[in-house]
Amino acid sequence: MKGPRLGRFGIALASFALLATACASGGPLDTLSPEGPIARQIDGLWKIVFYLAVAVFVLVEGALVLLLIRFRHRKGDNELPRQTHGNTRLEIGWTILPSLLLIALAVPTVTTIWALAEEKPNSLKIEVTGAQWWWRYDYPDYEGLTTANELHIPAGRPISLDLKSDDIIHSFWAPRLAGKQDVVPGRTNNLTIQADRPGTYEGACVEYCGLSHANMRLKVIAHDADDFEQWAREQAADAREPSGGLAARGKRVFEEGQCVSCHTIRGSEKSTGTTAPDLTHFASRTSFAGGIFTSTEGNLRRWLADAPAEKPGSKMPAGIATMGLTTEDIDALIAYLQSLR
C-alpha cells in the first residue's frame, strides 16, 4: 500500500504547489487591480462574467453531485434506472436557458466595447510605435517631444494612443490602466488609457515578437497636471551642450562613430538616426534597453561594451568588438549620456 499512498501524497503536494503559484497579490502586472476608469470598466465586465460562470458551475456541479448520490448503486439493487428519451420539455429548457445566459453576457459585453471605443473629450493624443524591442512615444501636441519606453501622462485625463508598428505585430498592455491592444504593421489601432493618480504603472508587449519579446517592457508614469507640463517643456527642448571634460569627449565619440546612424540627440546636427531610441534626455529616464535595465553606470558600461550579450537579438552592435570602442571611449560616452537631462 506504500506505493499508492506515496503516489496520492505526491499528487496532492504537486496540486498544492501549483495552486500556491497563483497566490500572489499586488504584482506589477496585476490586471485585477485597476487604477483608472478604463481599467475599471474592463474589470466590471470581467466580474459579471466570472460570477455568472461561478453560479453556472455551482448549479451544474451541485446537481451532478446530488444525482450521483441519489442514484448511486446500492447493495441488492439490481434494477436499472428508468430510461427517459425525447423529453421535449427538458430539451426546450436546456436550449432556452443557455440562450438567456448568453444574452445576459452579450448586453454588458457589447455596451462595454462601445464605451471603450468612444473617443473621450479632452484626451491627450500620443503616437506609439512598437519596434524590436522597444517603444517610441511621440507627442504631437508638444513639438519635438519624443521619448522611449517610459510613457509619461497627466493623471486624471484620458490618453488616446495611436498604435503603429515598424516591423512585426506587437501588443501594448498596461494592465492596471487598460486592456491589451495589438500593434500591427500598416495600420493604426487606438487605445485609451487613464490613471486616477500619479504613479508608475508597469506594462509589457504581450504578442510574441521575436528573440527578445520578454525584454520588451514599458512603464506608464503619471504626473500631476502641472508636473506633466513642466516635464513636457523640458523634454521638448534640445539637449544641453556639455561644458567640457569627459562628457564633451563623449559627445565627440558619439558624433564621430556609428551611434549617430541610429540614434538622435536633438541639438546635434550630426545626430539624425531614427531606427533606435531618441537619447536627447536619456538621463531623465529610469531605465533603458526596452525598460529591462535600470539607468546605472554599471548597466550602461555592460550595454555599451556588448549589447547583444545583454539583450538577445539586440540590433545595437557590440561596442568593443564591432564598433571598436575603447574602455576610455565607453567612459566618455557614459559621462555624456548621464549629462543628458
pLDDT at 156: 93
Q: What residue ranges in the chain does DSSP mark as E strands?
A: 124-131, 134-138, 146-148, 150-154, 159-165, 170-173, 181-183, 189-193, 199-205, 217-223, 287-288, 293-294
CA proximity to 274, closest of 260, 286, 284: 260
Dihedral of the alpha carbons of 241, 244, 248, 249, in degrees to the nearest 10: 170
pLDDT in tens, 203-256: 999 999 999 999 999 999 999 999 999 999 999 998 888 887 888 888 888 888
* Structural domains in the chain, sorted by start: 31-65+90-118 (no CATH), 124-236 (2.60.40.420), 245-337 (2.60.40.420)
The mean pLDDT value for 125-130 works out to 96
Q: What is the pLDDT of residues 21-76, one digit of tens each?
A: 666 666 778 888 899 999 999 999 999 999 999 999 999 999 999 988 887 777 77
- What pLDDT does residue 272 have? 77
The pTM (predicted TM-score) of the whole model is 0.84
Q: Within 13 Å of residue 47, how many CA atoms lie on the same side as its CB?
A: 9
Could you tell me which residue, 11 or 240, shows the higher pLDDT? 240
User: 63-103: per-residue pLDDT in tens?
Assistant: 999 988 887 777 777 777 677 677 788 888 888 988 998 99
